Structure formats: C-alpha cells, structure tokens
Structure 1
C-alpha cells in the first residue's frame, strides 16, 4: 500500500509541474486505480515521517516545493515573493493540506533561498513560464538524472533550475526575427559544480530552440574528454549516443567498456527524442576525438529545414531540426577547422540560433596581446580570442556565456570592443553550494583565539592544513603526507564497509611546478618515499598508529561526529592492508599526469576504473580537471597571479563523508597567498551583492563598471596578468550601515607612530569603562537572536574629529580609504550626529598596556600576511552592538545609552601588535603588563560603521569617474 500511495502522490506532483500547486489529495486520488488507498493528510504525513532522505516521493516533494518557493512568475503566485514564508504559506493553501501536514512539509523541506547575484543591463523577457513548461524535454531528463543518479538534493536541483533560468532568459530569443548577440559571464567557485550549471543551461537552450552548441573546455585533452563524457552521460543520453551504432562496436562507439555505461547510469530518454517531436542531439565530437574537419561535404553540420520557404530561426524549422553539439578544446588549429567548416554549410549562418559556452573562460579566451604592438586603429588578437571572434562574426545569432571561478581576466576586457568577449550583458555570481569545501575552509578568516583554545574543532587550519618548510628542497614531511594518504584510504574502506559512503576513487596530489622535467624528478621522490614507508610490513604500524591517534581520529571526532570512525587503531589494521594493496596494485603507486607523450605515462582514467594512486603533475591538473577522490594534497607551486593560484586548488570541491579526512601540506607563504586570494574573492562577491539591488528602479552598476571593484590584498599577488589598466575608477563608495575595515597597515615604525598619534583625540574621548550587554530581538531584521556581553572603554566624538583622524592615516595602498572618505566628507548633520568610540576589552588582563597616556587597555595580537596586510581585525562578538547603534537604538548597555543618538556611527578601535611565533599570546605583546606601549610598536586598526541615515540624496551606493580624463570614452588604456 505504501508503494501505491507514494506513486499516486508522485504522479500528482508531476501533474502539478505545469500549472503550479493544486489540491494534492484530490489529484492523487484521481491518479490511482487502487480504490483501497486512502489519500489523505494522515497517510501522507505518516509516509513522509517514515521515509528516508533517498525515498523517491520525498525527493519529488523536495524538488517541487523548492521550485514553487523560488518561482518568479506564474498565474498562481499571487503577490507573494520568492523564498519567503508568505510564498510557502500560499503554496500550502493551494495544496489543501492541514496544519499538521504543513508543519511536516516545512520540517522536512525547509525554505531555501539562493544568494545568486546578477549584474546586468536591459533585456527583453521571452523565456516565460509557459515556454519552460512546454519545452523542457532535456531539462526534465537532466534534472531527474541529478536527483536520482548524482545524489543532488531537491533544493539543489531547484536552485540549479533557478540559476540556469537566470542565464537563459538573458540570452536572445532563438525564434526572434531581430538578431541579437548577448555576452555574459557566470562566476562560480573552484570545483563547485560549474559543469552542472552549464549542462543545465545547454539543456534549456536546446529545449528553447538553440541548434548549435559549441563548448570550449580549456586547453588540455584531459579536460576536454572529461567535459565531453559528462555531457554525453547526463544530457545527450543513450538514444542520441547510439543512433544506429552497436554499443559493442569497439571502434565506432566510445563507451562500449565504460563502467557507468554498462551499469546503466547514462541518461535514458526511453525514446528517440525526434520520435516525440523533440530535437535529437548530434555529436560532432566524441570522448576520444576532438573536432576534426568533417567528411562527406560536412553534411553533419548542415541543418535540417523542413520549410525551405522560412528562415532557420522560424519556429516551424526549429521544431524539425536537430541540435549539433561540439565539445572542443581551446586550440588554434582545431578551432580554425570548425570556423572553416561552418563557412561551407548551405544553411545561412546568420539564421542559426547558436550558443558558445566557454568553460574556464578566463584562460586563453581574453585578448592579451600588447597594445603597443598594434597597427594603428587595428587590434592584434591572440589566437583563441581571434577564433572566438570569428565564430561570433559568422553566427549572427550566437550567444556567448563564459564560466569561471576566477573572473578578473574577463572583467578587465575592453567592453567597447565589439569583437571581444567582455560580459557586456550580464554577470551572474553563483551562491556557494551546500556541502562545498573551498578556500575559506582551509583558512581561519577573522578568527581570534585570544580567549578560546586553538583546537581541531575551532580552527580550519589546525584541522586540515599541515605546514611545510619554506625550503623548497626540504621534503621531510612527504612521508607523513603519504602516511596520511594510506590512513585516509583505510578509513574510507572502514566507512564503506559499515555503509557510511561509497569511495570508488582515492587520490593524492603532488604539485611542485609546471615543468615536466620536475614532474619526473618528484615522481621518483614519491616512489622512494613509498618504498621507505615499509607499508608491506609491520614496520609502518607504530608510525601510522601515532598519526591516527594524534591527527585523524581527533579531527574526525571534532568536526565530523556523524561519520563513522574506528574506536581504536586495531579496528583499522585490515583496512590499512587493503588500502596499501589498492595503491600499489600496479606495482607503481604514482601516475605522472602531464602532456609529455614521450614518457609513456600511464593514462589517468577515472571513468574506466577505480583510481587509488598518487598523482604528480602540473598544468594538466591545475585548472578545470576534477581529480576524483582527492584527499591529500602536497603543494609547493608558487605563482604571482591570484586567478592562477586559485585554479590550482584542486583540493576544493565536494567531499561527502570524507571532508574531515582532507589534508593540505603547503608552505606558509603559499598558504598566506591563498588566504589573500580568498579575501579578494570574498570582497569581489560582497561588492557585487552590495551594488546589485536597483535604487528607485535604476541599476546601481552595469557590467562595464565591475573592474574597479576588484581588490588586491597582497601587493605581489595580482588579480590577473594584464598589461593594460581599466580606465574607470571608483570615485565614491557609500556604506550606510555596512562595515569599513581597512586591513592594509604599514609595518614601519615611523608609519605606526604617525598613525597611532592620529587617533589620540579618539582615545582621549573613550574614558568611560562600561559593560556592554544586550541582544537583538527576533522581531528585528536579524532572523535569530544575537547577544553580547563584554567590557569596553567608550566615548563620543564629533563627525569632524573622526574625519580628521582617519584622513591623516597612512594605509596600504595609500588610497585605500579614498572612495569612503569622499562619502564621509559629504555627510551633513541630518545624516550623522557623531560617532560612538568603542575600545573592546578582552577577558584576561595579561595584554593590558597604556597607549598615549590612556588607562591600561587590551592589546590584540593579529597575524600579518607578508608585511603590510592583517588577516583579521575585528571580532564578531564586539561587532554585535553596532546592529542596534546604526538603527539609532541605545540598548547596548545601561551606561552607554546616553552616547547613542538617532544618527550615530560607531568605530571599534583595536590596538594591534604582530603575532610572534609562540604558544603564548602574551609573548607577542611588548612591555610588561600595564606598562606603556610605544606608538611605534602598535597599530590602531579600526572597524567603522556609519548609521543607516547616512544615505546620499540619490540613494546610490557607488559612483565612478575616469582615470584618464582626456579619454573619457575609452574603457582600457595602456599603463604607460
């Protein structure tokens, strides 16, 4: 009965996909022929309460509810906003379930909102709800595959549906008479599922009428083959792949021995799509072969046109033609063949709705030629950029969508260059996926351990990062890294045996340099370390036991208590033997992965077999390519470009049931560079989010104004390689109610002394020692109650006094505060009535010092990245009262109420000294307890928040000007 009940409700949910939520019990009753089934609230509620997370009905409910929650149009939505409690209440009302069932639905399927950020220009809506419902053949099969075979949750599929729709609706209508080319950029995170996103975009594009899909996949055969297989498996499907070919034909069919093909994991459409009036997908490339010049008069590229009297883009012809799919790497000769063949087909190229998806679009695609070498009025273009331009010139109805996790090279492209690929129409910043492990998970961003212990449970660095020596030739920890690789493999086997996850692949990455000669040398070092490890005897057990008991077991207990862990080392011994057997099965634990064919390197094949090996490589493993099962990384390759550095972080990604086992062996300078890169990325995303909301119906920024928002936190780590400079400059940044916290502070004694002296009026004003305590009630904007309780020295200064102090500061870079100061200088008494000065105090007394004659105050120890940048300044607990102050509320502590006005700003001041490598925080603070601290020994850093009333008359948050005034209309200028 339960199975029949579940089937009736699944059919009801599928029926409601077209017209939105309806009375679910009535529809479910109409869907079943078994009259003995009672479809009502009690039975539905009992089923959902008993069902596990992988239950088909539960997954269907998750997708449908998340989709309805996020819907932006449709006749049924009324006046409710997406992803709100009002929208869910409206859905529940339309479903006709009672309050008890509604609560179960909310508990099992909570409302999930997306943080995708869109910066765009004007666009004409065409991708309506009706069109999406009528033409969803490939999207429906793809989303079902993600849900049933890839382990995606219902909210994840619904989120993908929403984000891919944001892309498609900003492209041109493929059936429109007017030609239009849109160019956009989708920004994700490294190894975060961008392929899943652009596969969904391609599915919807084909459903909507696009008939030529060109996927550019980076510059390596490895990445191209991996992308081709993903698309073949999850989108193209069995029926399109076979097309008259025998699946046992070892020469004509590329998946005859593929494990997932044999296990039935490729998408099945159940019919040939064209038999159901849907387009077939014709592949012009295969997993093993990139694009080649087509034979037989390139007929494979010529498009069917049932009605020869009408253009190709006419709906009648789009419905009767098949889609062509080309997956090609960014290689000049290969792309030249494609351009040449397109020029030969009989169908008018200008009439073909086409889509170029450029994966890793910041690599090779932008034009990086030197403007000094251009002929007058004629730009010289790099090869791949030129080929993409030629494709866009041939295909007048071609849309371009770039995908990247490191967008800086793309946003620095000249937006006035019509032939280039600047995302002039839209930029979409995808939200961080649930379960993703990224750069921030290997850093302790903004963490302070002065009043709490540094432990595996509180520190990402302590849990996952193992520091190497600065000496590049010191490989003393390589053997420990290999020990960790063996142990983590054994723990995976233990978990798999007990039903806690499945682990087909288990890999370790060793990355020293891009040079192929170095790969061979390091591979021999790894092999030698493996032999010294003694893994085939009992010699290694004491060493492995120590690493297990001191590292892997306590980390797992601290951060992953739900994942199984052996009670003791003895339970792991048999699994260690099996892990060693798998790693050394071929007689060589190492695979060298690079482009050197002369080395007779073993091919890396995650699709055809389980891989339990140590991978040594460079560029082939540095961008885009997914290293399956990666658990231990030993990384030493330095670069001075932020985007290149982040792309080499292969340890980012999804690590289900083994997140706690991930280890990164890296030297301190590289780890600091990753932290700065992470902050650059977070700053960029935060700026996009802050300025994405329209003001009075007007867009605050357009894609052309994005480059000035790119930050650079380390002077030697550039956002991207460029020999040009963007001509726009951020003139004024307004941040009412938002934080301004400079972190670039010079380390020289002279600058420190000058900066400290600038703050004397503020320190003098903070002469009251009080207890700050309170909470933000739930009914306020904060969704959850947040409280604080600490002591502080506080006071109040005028707006003019604060401006005088911060205007004289010496920062890194020197103009770091210029856009903020322009805004602060413009504020009047109607917008701000003064500033509350707060010097937070720590609980202990060991760091108390006198500064500029003030009573002893807490000194905070912070770590610098290189010499001029602090990794963190303020602390969350100290920032919480600001949430009330900026709204004009005075309930931050009884004694402080008199200082807070209706229009008060807040400045938290932190006396900061540099951390010394020591177990004791106090060791880093100069002088004796309560003694005087010289101004040249301390940096008075701050966290500043203006009140919400400090809004400009035009309500805009950001303004731009031009660097080279004589070239106001030129977007890019030569640095010289």
Structure 2
C-alpha cells in the first residue's frame, strides 16, 4: 500500500472517530466534516508532505455518515439448539477486536455496527463450541451479489475463533484465482500475515498490523500462491495442535482437494470410531465450515430415492463435491455449516430428508436462513434495471447501452453469435475487428478512468469486464483483438500521431453520453452517492496519455495472479480490462468495475445473477459506469429481479408468521418461476411440481402471428358471450385518498370455473411466457376446483388506456380506450414489462379488505435500498392482496374460491409497425391473481433437459 493511501486512510479514520463523538448526528454537516478533516491532517505526520487529496477525504466521510442499513431478517429452527452467546462470552475476543479496528479504516461506524450485529446473530444460531456431546447446525446466509459477503464471513470466522471453534474450513469457489483472492482477504481480516508457505508466518498484513501479538496468530494450512491449496506435501508434514490456536484451511471445491483434506482429517485428527459403521471421527474439536457461493457445485444434483417407509435410500451416491463436503462434516461430532450465497434457490431445493450412512444429512439449511440487509449505497438489480410497471421498467439508472452489432442481422453469425463452438473466429462484417459497440465500450472505460483521475480517485482500482463467451479459445481471440485496439489507442494518443479522429470520437462520446448521464444521475441519487465534480473535456484530454499507458488487458484464466495484483497494488490504482467466461461468473471481485460488455446468453436465475459483476458499491463514480448488453438480457434481468422480489416478500411473510427454513423450502419448491435455477439443482430430473396459489401470473410475452392473435381474440369473445351481462359497468372502489376507478371497464362476479378452464384451454400462450402456460394453468384450476377452491371467479375486461377507435366484442361490449404496452424489442415475441397496473389486482376488494391488505403490507415492510424500497407504501402489495383474499384476516372472511381473471385488449401499435400494419384488432393478454391457499394441490410441469439447456443455457 502506498504512503499516500495509508495517510489518506489514517486521516479519514481519525476524522471519523472525532465525528463519532458528536451526540447529535444531525449536526454532522459537510462543513463540520471538512473542519475535522483539517484537524486530522494536522495530527497525522506526513499528511502535508505527501500528495493528499483533502476533498476526497471529505467526500468519503460525507458518504460514510449518510449511510444507513436496513434490518436483517431470519427464519430459524431452535430444535436441538441451546442458546449460549451472551456478553460475558465476548469480553476477551481479540480476533474480532482487531478485525473491527481494521474495517473501521474503510467503513462507516454504521456499517461496522451492522456487521457486528449480523455476525453475532449468525454465531448465536450456531452451537457453543464448548458444548459437550455431539451437535450439528446448518444455516444459510443470503446476501446480494457483490454486496460484501466475504467481509461478513470474515467477521464470523474471527468471532468463531474467539469463541473456541478450532478448525475453520472455507470453501472458496472452483478456481485458483477465487481461492487465492479469498485467502488474501482472510490474511488481512483473520490471519494477520502473508502466507507464502504453509505453516509459516510471513509479513504482517491487515489485522496483523493492528495487533502484533504473535501468541494469537492463527495457523493456516494453505497459502495465497496459485498452487497454495491443501496439497499432499502439506498433508504429510502437517502436525496439528488446534487446542492452542485455531487452524484455517482455504480450499477449492475440487474433488481431489476435498478428498485429500478428508483423508487427512480421518488419519491425523480423528480420535474416535463409530461402532456401528466403523467410521473414524473427531470427537473433541469443533468445526466451522463456511461454504462461499454455496449454491455452486455444493448441491447434490442426483435424484435420491426413498424407501416405502419414507426413509432415504442408503444406496444413493451423492455427486462428488457434495459428497466430500458432507463427509467432512460427518467426520466431526461437533460441526457447524454456514453457506453464503446471493442466489439461494438451489440450496432451498435440497431435500430435507436426504441422508446416507457415509455422508450423513444433506446440506439443507435446516437451522436458519438469514437475509442480509444491504446498505443504502448498494447498487443492485433494482437500481440498475428499475422495477416493473405497466409503463415499462421505471426507476433504473441510465447506465445501460443497448448492443446488437455483435451478431449478424439474422442472428446466425457475426462477431459473437449465441451458438458458437470453440473454433469460432470472431469477425465483424467479415473482418478481423471488434464491433463498433465494443470499441465504444473500450472508449467509455478510458474516459471513466480519466474522469476518476480528475476526481482524485487515481489511487483506486478501475476495471472493465468483457464477458462474451465461455470458451477459452474464443476468449483468446477476443483478447488479441482488444489488446490490439488498446495498443493502437495508446500509441496514437501518447505519441500524438494520427490521433485526431480518435480524439474527436472520444470527445463526442464524452459530450453526448457522459456529460448528460452525469447530470441525470446527480438528479436521481442523493448527494452523498454522487461526485460533485464533472471534469471538463480539457481536463480529460490532459490525463488521457497517462491513463492509456496504465491500462492492462488481461484474460482471466483461473490463476492466482488475477487476484493477487489488486492486493499488491493497493493504493496505486490498477486499470484492468478483464476478458473471461466462467472464471468471472462466480465470486471473483473486479475492483472498481466501471464498464461491462456482456452478451452471455444463459437465462437461469442464479447463473445470470452471479454473472452480474456490475452490482456492488460505486462510491463517487456510479455516474461513470456503463453496462453494454442486449435488450433480451435486460428483459431477463428484469424477470429475475422481479422473481427475487417475490421470493424475498415470501421470506418476509414467513419471518412475520414465525416460519422455519423447512416451511420456506416447501413454499419455494412449488413456486412457478421456472427459470430460477437448473432443474438438475431442483432435484427433479423430469418434473417440476408447481402451485400457483398466492401468485400473480401474467402474459408478458405475446405472439405476433395474426392467426394466433385471431384464435386468442376468439377465445376471449367466447368467454364474454358465455358470461352474459356484466355485473358492473364503470367501476369505482373507495380507497385512502382518492378512489380507484375503471370508468371504461366491465366486471363479472361468480363466474364458474368451467368457463375459466375453457378459456385457458382455447388460449395460446407464448412459449417465452414460461410462467403463464395456459395448459398448465387450466390443469391447476381444475385440480383446485376438485379440492373445493377456485370455484367462483371475478373477471374484468379492462379498457383503461388512451382513447382510440371503438372496438365491439361479440357480446356487444365496446372498448374505446385500449390499454397500451410497449414492446421491449426482444427477438421472437411481442414482449412487455408488466401487464397489470398495481391497482388492477385489487379490483374485487372493497375498502375494508383493501385497507387490511395495506395494513398487512405496512406491518412487514422495511426499507431496503437493494430492492428500491425507500418510502413507505401507500397501496397494498400484490402478495398481501392475494393473502387477504384467500386466507382472510381478522374480520375479513377468507375466500379461497375466488380467483381473479383480468383481460387486457392491448393496442397493437404498442407491438410496433411490423404487427400493427397487419393486425388492427386488440391483442388479447390476460393476468390471473390466484388467492393464497393452504391447499397442497400442485400441478406437474414436465421438463425436457435438452430443450431447457437450449433455451436457458447449461447448468454451471
């Protein structure tokens, strides 16, 4: 770390400590912060002699003191657990104390306090390491992508070691670079020294510079080197004495490595033998096993069978990595497993009863699931992509740049078509060249680096991600092309030869893209999250030569060097363009990520979210960030952001009702989000069992084919005729403030379920509307009717839109204002963001029921910046509308028989000229609001794995 950066951190730390002494936090103004920075500069030797950026220190402290963090939420099961973590146990905790002092250099006091509470809560759900007898605790911590999960489990490791856990194993990804990156982080946060050779203490780093007492230095059996994993050589010479100090193992999720570690544990640490199975195990030493990215590789994708009496089939052979993890846990009488992930669905799909004699129970988080709250400055999917509405996605930041020139116009060829093999040579219009969008993205990265330099952030790392293929040979070709472009830019700018056209191109990008975007984002975000300085073009131009000289193009190939460089250049500011595939898609942090170019086509929830390296923290440079990607991927990220929100709402509801992880697992397993994860990870190799109860299903992908549009319009007409006269024409419902009105719409009550299933059977839903499959929906309704539910329907024909020509349906009802939904321009369908207006779902609720749904919504609501939840809702959430309708509450009677079908006659102009030029009648779309139900009815959805992979991509 450079002296300048050390001085900067020291000044900020002292100023923060002084400001923390203010009893009234509202008095901490920018002027007071500036005053305390000046005071701290006077106290720190060298702050006047080094090149110290006073304004950068002030800006950093403004951000820290503006930060707020929501509340974590937890589902837990106390069976077999003995509460133990009280304040007296924490008096002499030195590992945590020095880690706390270490993170206070970089984080606000608010963030450190939240970390302290969060790790206390997790540790308390584990067992007291001093507890006698055998025990086993298993939990899951759910964070957000790139939100600081490593910092959280680093704190947990420190506290667990303080409490008395003696062996701590951290499973750190599948590749060397991620394992090494994790090792480096744990050196800074827990070990306190560099690990060049296993078992040896190297130079002090991180916490080791705060508390230099060698008596508390933990032991470590792995190193930061590329080949620093747990090796045979280390195993042979490792004499363990964890009674004195804890041992840390940072290992890959690799069959050979885990087998080697298991063998060593059973040969050198085990001190007892199970009489029934002859299995060696450790009786006296408590184990903490932390599984980073716990949904990746750890989940057993094999289908376990069960005996007629319901017991697991002991002949089942779990997949290799899952098996080794479970065997390691099963080798300790006292063990605790904590998985960390941002995409927990594969873990929740783990069968709760899976068990074998050799492996013990599966990794289902039966003890607890904790949802970590994100800080207010976290930039997640909801911030990047916005939230869905009938007017499209709203509230997103203007960071996305649409690209389409990476493929030919017919989608079959071009520079990087979706289907390409390892022999593919990326050519743009037949030439060995990058497409214009990629050249622009590289230019955007250069400008972002230059702007950060002008803002005093030159000592911070800056990165660009290029993720266009998972094939290494193709990545090499992309690397060569990008390296050539950067080299030519560098030569032309630094030498001032043949540079005029390039300067003009960059100047235009700055004026037409960066300047207006900086202004717009400043207006959208709080002042503390933005940087007030927008450089002039002259300032940018002055630093361009140095910036281009510093940019390094890398192909991320899984070696430790990729991770090491950031740590080695702390405070010097690396500028890296990283080209990679799967090595970049899991866990590896790209420091200071500014620009991403992303065309990977997987559509599975967990795969896509994990590839989203652009989520995270962007202090003082969020306005300079760019995501170059396709319209289709933006649509899919929208889907998964919405799916994630639904499941988090379900989680919050279960927390409120006192549910356990088992309850949540059963709920999620039947949730009709068909692309959350690979069906292999769902443990249902052929069939998904779905329940639509408590869900809103809507057709957001529609056909463009006039023949199918005609068929769907005919199906609607048949339903309208069969229902007869509407119950209401022009609908008004009392609400708080102003009433909800549907003046041009029609509503029917007590419609028989047979008419609904006839409609669904006749209606053709688009294959891309994966949740709204009319045939599966019809089957579900039919099954629920047999169970005595969904027997009496409310149907609404919604005519709330811009006035256009009248259209008369077969029963004579006339729509004069057709609803309009704009096409998102995704290939192969007329795709829209959201069909339903937020008020439409409650069209059947009178005021008392509506008010009850709102009260219920407010009861569970808490601010969460990662979900764009910043202001208290004034309308009930859709989930609570469906809960109140189906389950009732207090004086509101339950009506699980009442489904709601919403019919939307969409204006074809929203689909674009290619449709409106050949179709002039309404494009029919529908939504169904299913009441919540305690029924266990589910419907089978068959999965063809080959088709699944073709549509969603392979499982990672």
Aligned: 1:270 with 2:211: yes
Give the counterpart of 2:538 among 555, 566, 570.
570
- Cα deviation digits, residues 135-162 of structure 1 (max 9, x gap): 643334333432x2222x3443333334
The equivalent residue for 1:215 is 170
Distance 1:667 1:795, change over 3 A: closer
Measure, in 2, the Cα distance between the counterparts of 1:924 and 1:55. Answer: 63
Residues 820 and 172 of structure 1: CA distance in aligned 2, closer, same or farther (over 3 Å): farther
What is the Cα deviation at residue 856 of structure 1? 0.8
Structure 2 residue 748 is matched with structure 1 residue 797 = yes
Which whole-Å CA distance do the structure 2 matches of 1:572 and 1:764 have between them? 69
Q: Secondary structure at the match of 1:815?
A: helix
Match of 1:328 among 218, 235, 251: 251
Q: CA deviation at 1:224?
A: 0.8
Question: Which deviates further from its counterpart, 555-564 or 746-755?
Answer: 746-755
Q: Mapping of 1:52-91 within 5 angstroms? A: 52=33
- Taking the aligned partners of 1:707 and 1:741, their CA distance within structure 2 comes to 16
Of 917, 927, 930, the match for 1:942? 927
Which residues of 2 match residues 792-831 of structure 1 at below 5 A? 792-794=743-745, 796-800=747-751, 804-805=755-756, 808-809=759-760, 810=763, 812-813=772-773, 814-816=775-777
User: Which residue number in structure 1 is paired with residue 51 of structure 2?
Assistant: none
Deviation at 1:122, TM superposition (A): 3.2
1:219-238 aligned at under 5 Å gives the runs: 219-237=174-192
3-state SS of paired residue (1:421)? coil
Q: Which moved more, 1:717-726 or 1:431-440?
A: 717-726
Q: 1:376 to 1:941 in 2, by over 3 A?
A: closer
- Within the alignment, does 1:382 sit opposite 2:339 as a pair? no
Map of 1:303 onto structure 2: 242
Counterpart position of 2:290: 357
CA–CA distance in structure 2, aligned partners of residues 12 and 654 of structure 1: 23
Deviation at 1:658, TM superposition (A): 1.5
**CA shift for structure 1 position 434:** 2.6
Change (3 A) 1:158 1:878: farther
Partner of 1:594: 557
Shift of 1:835: 5.2
Distance 2:93 2:234 in 1: 33
How far apart in 2 are the matches of 1:157 and 1:724? 42
Deviations 1:833-855 (A, max 9, x none): 9959583634x435875555324
Equivalents in 1 of 2:744, 2:153: separation in Å? 53
Q: For 1:747-789, what per-residue CA distance to the aligned partner results, in whole angstroms no more than 9, with x for missing partners? A: 333652355236527896376447889645xxxxxxxxxx678
C-alpha separation in 2, matches of 1:254 and 1:788: 70
SS in 1 for 2:351: coil
> Aligned pair 1:841/2:782, yes or no?
no
CA distance in 2, matches of 1:187, 1:861: 35
The answer on whether the counterparts of 2:448 and 2:594 sit within 8 Å (CA) in structure 1 is: yes
Aligned length: 787
| Correspondence list, 1:166-177, <5 A | 166-177=121-132
Aligned to 2:477, which of 508, 515, 521? 521
Which of 209, 212, 220 pairs up with 1:283? Answer: 220
Determine whether 1:399 maps to 2:336: yes
Query: Relative to structure 2, which stretch is displaced further, 857-866 or 178-187?
Result: 857-866
Q: 1:643 to 1:678 in 2, by over 3 A?
A: same
SS of 2:698's partner is coil
Name the CA shift for 1:796/1:876 in 2 (closer, same or farther; >3 Å). closer
Q: Distance in 2 between matches of 1:446 and 1:190?
A: 20
Q: What does 1:383-462 correspond to in 2, within 5 Å?
A: 383-418=320-355, 419=359, 420-449=362-391, 460=396, 462=398
2:134 aligned partner: 179
Q: Which residue of 2 aligns with 1:545?
A: 507
Distance 1:393 1:376, change over 3 A: closer
Which residue is equivalent to 1:708? 669
Matched, 1:686 2:649: yes
Q: Which residue of 2 aligns with 1:197?
A: 152
Aligned match for 2:610, one of 643, 647, 671: 647
The SS at the match of 1:198 is helix
| Aligned 8 A contact 2:76 2:659 in 1 | no
1:149 and 2:105 are equivalent in the alignment: yes
Cα distance change of structure 1 residues 251 and 874 upon mapping to structure 2, 3 Å threshold: same
1:32-82 CA-partner distances (Å, limit 9, x unpaired): xxxxxxx9x8x99867897439979xxxxxxxxxxxxxxxxxxxxxxxxxx
C-alpha separation between the residues in 2 aligned to 1:178 and 1:541?
A: 72
Q: Does 1:465 align with 2:404?
A: no
Give SS of 2:268's match. coil
Give, in whole Å, the separation in 2 of the partners of 1:700 and 1:214: 24
1:326 is displaced (CA, Å) by: 0.8
| CA distance in 2 between partners of 1:542 and 1:799 (Å) | 67
1:887 aligns with 2:887: no
Secondary structure of 1:623 counterpart: coil
The DSSP-based 3-state class of the residue aligned with 1:857 is strand
Matched residue SS, 1:186: strand
- State which drifts further: 628-637 or 865-874: 865-874
Partner of 2:712: 752
Deviation of 1:603 (Å): 8.0
Q: How far off is 1:958 after superposition? A: 6.5
* Mapping for residues 527-538 of structure 1, pairs under 5 Å: 527-531=483-487, 533=489, 534-536=492-494, 537-538=499-500
Q: Confirm whether residue 483 of structure 1 aligns to residue 432 of structure 2.
A: no
Question: 1:460-480 CA distances to partner (integer Å, 9 max, x unpaired)?
Answer: 375323323343414231111
Change beyond 3 A, Cα 1:925–1:806: farther
**How far does the alpha carbon of each residue in 1:700-733 deviate from its partner, in whole angstroms, 9 at most, with x for none?**
9535525524543569x84665673498945573
**Deviation of 1:354 (Å):** 0.5
What's the C-alpha RMSD, in Å, of the aligned pairs? 4.8
Q: Which runs of 5+ in 1 are unaligned?
A: 1-5, 14-27, 29-38, 57-106, 305-320, 584-588, 777-786, 894-899, 965-976
Tell me the residue number matched to 2:698. 742
Within a 5 Å distance, the mapping from 1:667-686 to structure 2 comes to 667-686=630-649
Change (3 A) 1:45 1:222: closer
> Normalization by structure 2: what TM-score?
0.71
Deviation of 1:352 after TM superposition, in Å, equals: 1.0
Query: Aligned equivalents of 1:824 and 1:503: distance in 2?
Result: 65
Q: Give the C-alpha shift of residue 572 in structure 1.
A: 2.4
Equivalent of 1:137, from 75, 94, 103? 94
2: distance between equivalents of 1:273 and 1:254? 11
Q: 1:580 aligns with which of 548, 554, 560?
A: 548
State the secondary structure of the residue aligned to 1:428.
Answer: strand
* 8 Å contact from structure 1 (residues 479, 530) kept in 2: no
For each residue in 1:173-214, what CA deviation from the matched residue of structure 2 results, as whole angstroms up to 9, or x when unmatched?
A: 222223111222222222121112212222222222211100
Deviations 1:900-943 (A, max 9, x none): 9987987765333577675xxxx588489xxx964xx5223236
Partner in structure 2 of residue 342 of structure 1: 265
Aligned position for 1:510: 466
Taking the aligned partners of 1:234 and 1:889, their CA distance within structure 2 comes to: 49
1:823 Cα deviation from its structure 2 partner: 7.0
Normalising by structure 1, what TM-score? 0.70
> Which of 659, 668, 678 matches 2:622?
659
CA distance in 1, matches of 2:119, 2:563: 34
**Structure 2: stretches of 5+ with no match in the other structure:** 1-12, 38-63, 272-281, 409-413, 416-427, 429-434, 766-771, 855-873, 876-884, 886-890, 942-956
Output one character per residue of 1:398-443: Cα deviation in whole Å (capped at 9) or x when no partner: 2111112222332333332223323233333333443222333443
**Which residues in structure 2 correspond to 1:103-114 (within 5 Å)?**
113-114=70-71
